[in-house]
Each structure stands twice: as C-alpha cells, then as structure tokens.
Amino acid sequence: MAHHRLSPRQYLILGVVAVSAPLGDSCLSRGMAAMPPISLEHPGSLIAAVFTPWIALGIALLIGFFASYLTALSWADLTFVLPATAFGYVIIALLARFWLQEAISLERWAGILLITLGVGFVAQGPSLTEHPAHEETEAKEVETR
C-alpha cells in the first residue's frame, strides 16, 4: 500500500535538499572557524560574519536548500522529508573529515551509520499521510482496506 510514490523529479528535489544543506553548513563552519570567537556581548560581529566569502557562499547554498525543502514539504510529510535529507550527514562527515580535517572517532562513525539506518526505515514508508481533511475520505479509505 505504497501510496504517493514519488516521481524521479521529486527524488531529485530530495537529493538537492540532502546535498545542499551539508555543503552550505560546511561553508559556514569553514567561515566561522576562521573568525575569532564570537561572544553574546557583541552580536554585531555575528552580522558582520554574514558578509565574509565562505559564509556568503554557505548562505547561497542554504537558500537553494530552502527552496527545494519548501517544495518537498508541499507534497510530502515533514517526518518523511527530514529523515530523507539525513543522508546529508554522511556527506557532512566526509566533508568534515577530508576538507576541514576534523577527526572523526569510531563512535561518531557508528552514530552516523545509525542515523543513516534510521533514514532508510523512513524512506521505505509512504511519503504523505492520508489526511482526513474530510471525514468521508477517511471512511472511504477504511472501506477499501
């Protein structure tokens, strides 16, 4: 009873959501790490950070992420879209390891693996809840079972 099979185009949009978010976050991390520590007493420095190149690039990527994320949310459940995008954690880990040279322990790798497994579970299910917007739609659905 796999209702709401996604079209290839919709999978593509989910792919963009998954890839652009970690890429954008990585750019932000690279930009922020290059800055002196920011304290709550000087929130202005947080605004200034927005205009440095890596952070600007990160924001551009995250705007692309947001557009595709909104599109995905218009035809799929939040609890489907979010885990489906969690595949990005694998990408973020690889980026952090090989681009930012952050060390990743075996435990963290295991955590990333479990998150990915959880994503696999959700991805196998239906993408949209049959919403009983009208009571009769729900009744009809029960009948057909």
Q: Are 15 and 90 in contact (CB under 8 A)?
A: no
Residue 137 sits in the site that holds other proteins (CB under 8 A):
no
The footprint of other proteins on this chain (CB under 8 A) covers a number of residues equal to 57
CA 92 to chain centroid: 11
Question: Quick count: other Cβ atoms within 10 Å of Cβ 80?
Answer: 22
In the numeric block, which tokens belong to residue 19? 């890839």
In the numeric block, which tokens belong to residue 132? 């009983």
Residue 127 sits in the site that holds other proteins (CB under 8 A):
no
Binding site for other proteins (CB under 8 A): 9-10, 22, 25-26, 28-29, 32-33, 35-38, 40, 46, 49, 62, 70-71, 73-75, 77-79, 81-83, 86, 89, 92-93, 96-97, 100-102, 104, 107-108, 110-115, 117-119, 121-122, 124-126, 129-131
